[in-house]
Amino acid sequence: MSKLMLDNKQIESSKLYAKGIVDDVMTYIYKHTTVSVERSILRLLGIDGINQFDVPFVNVIVDHVKEKADLSKGVCHYISYAIEEYDLTPNELAKKISDEKISLKRYQHMPKSPFMNKLTPYFNTSMTKIKEMTKIRENELAKKQRKETPEKYVIVATGNIYEDIKQAVSAAKKGADIIAVIRSTGQSLLDYVPYGPTTVGFGGTYATQENFKLMRKALDDVSKEEGRYIKLVNYASGLCMPEIAAIGALERLDMMLNDSLYGIIFRDINMKRTFVDQYFSRVLSAYARITINTGEDNYLTTSDAFDHAHTVIASQMINEKFAEIAYMDESLMGLGHAYEISPEIENSFLYEVAQAELSRALFPNAPLKYMPPTKHMTGNIFMGMVQNALFNITAVTTKQNIHLLGMLTEAVHTPFMSDRALALDNAAYIEKAFKNFGDEISYKPDGIINNRAQSVLSNAHALLEDIKNEGLFRTLEKGTFAGIKRLENQGKGLDGVFEKHKDYQNPLLDMMLLELKEAK
């Protein structure tokens, strides 16, 4: 039960507004597909590899259909006809299409394909593997009692997957529960997924299927040594959002950053492209039982965290409804927020507690992802250690779930292993010292924390009402979130969005949705 004195009618009304906002966007999403959704379908048909020019076969096929035929019918239309005619596997077809020995153009004007059953065995192979990966995760997690305190989450970001593995293993042995491999700078703007193991990332390591496989193996090995399951995180975002969700599901990633607004606001990816991609990626994540992490914390790096706290709450509610419509269980909704109020504000700690308690109260069954202070970290490592300690106290006290540890060297350099070790020591000490502190305290009904929480909720309610009336597209054009304006028909990737033809078919999506509905 929440300790806050909140207006429950306002909560219900806010969530109804959020549902209306998402339902409005879904009318667009249902009618459209994208190049990255279609490439995801090809990946889950078992198509893998690159041609002699290092172009992924999935890109070769989608570009081939886009340029020579009509992608609005969907890749399943073309591949099902081709398998019926040539009796080849999807991967064999891909190679021949790449070598220009087969053209799919001939099927452009064919009627709605009656050969979708030809794809079923290939989809079943991928779906069976995803289910097996899910079962492994569930079995491993069941071996240990669920943590009552937040899971300690740290990042590695060397650019070299083999160095990342060393740092990830060291962090796991020091007590980390979750390892996130930061993506190479700019990968979200690549309209393809790099191939194979990589050692040349800048500011992070490329997200590739082979890199996922290597890190998963390393974390499985250290999990056995430590006697507890170490979770792996990467980024299903950017122009290849659904593809990375697909390979993450196949390689047993446990969490993926997957936000409906982040790429639009912070990477200038077209909003139509992002919304269509995020829906398919979330259905995949729900099917694979991958916990998503949303990116509301980033709003507060460009907007003032005190004045714009309500935008975080509004976005969390919108993200929740986008996840619900993809049949995602609440236990997989890692809604994000952050400890970013200026330490110069009197009683800043109380305001941070209010914000964290508010998120906890609004989403009681969600594994909230709590982000550390970054905006007001100055390079003074001693002050940084204190700021992170207050953040850690808030995380434990308000029962956050996914606790991304702050680094004392934030604003100085990419963390050394020693910096990460100190962060883990700080969090472990506070986790033990404050374990039941939140159960022992209550808040004054008319005190700072309760008044602040209700004020933020009221502002979020008003904002959601405005968004419901204007529509989410118009809201993004106004720069409501993070103070950054994005236009509906501009941004990267718009040329990869297609209105579905009346004969469009996607049996994979139908299969996943049917199973998710039955599971509900």
* CA distance linking residue 284 with residue 244, whole number of Å: 10
Instruction: List, in order, residues 6 or more apart from 91 with CB less than 8 Å away.
Output: 46, 47, 48, 49, 57
**Closest C-alpha among 250, 230, 251 to residue 167:** 230
The DSSP output letter for 413 is S
Selecting among 297, 321, 370, 443, the annotated active-site residue is 297
Selecting among 73, 321, 369, 492, the annotated active-site residue is 369
**Closest C-alpha among 210, 242, 217 to residue 232:** 217
Which residues are 293's β-sheet partners? 257, 334
| Tokens found for residue 303 | 């907007």
Selecting among 262, 351, 370, 443, the annotated active-site residue is 262
Describe the crossing of helices 120-142 and 507-519 by its angle, rounded to 10 degrees: 40
* CA distance linking residue 135 with residue 413, whole number of Å: 39
* CA distance linking residue 26 with residue 24, whole number of Å: 5
* CA distance linking residue 208 with residue 220, whole number of Å: 18
**Do the beta carbons of residue 339 and residue 372 sit within 8 Å?**
yes
Residue listed under structure tokens 């030809």 = 118
- Active-site residue flag, 321: no
Which residues are 291's β-sheet partners? 255
* CA distance linking residue 137 with residue 140, whole number of Å: 5
Residue-wise over 311-347: b if at least 16 C-beta within 10 A, else e? bbbbbbbbbbbbbbbbbbbeebbbbbbbbbbeeeeee
Q: What is the DSSP string of 260-278?
A: SSHHHHHH-B-HHHHHHHH
**Do the beta carbons of residue 369 and residue 404 sit within 8 Å?**
yes
Q: What is the DSSP string of 97-156?
A: HHTTS--SGGGTTSPSPS-GGGTHHHHHHHHHHHHHHHHHHHHHHHTSPPPSSPEEEEEE
- Active-site residue flag, 213: no
* CA distance linking residue 248 with residue 232, whole number of Å: 10
- Active-site residue flag, 503: no
**Closest C-alpha among 503, 515, 512, 508 to residue 38:** 508
SS3 content of the chain, % helix, strand, coil (to 5): 55, 10, 35
161 residue type, one letter:
I
Instruction: List, in order, residues 6 or more apart from 22 with CB less than 8 Å away.
Output: 318, 321, 322, 325
- Active site residue ranges: 262, 297, 369
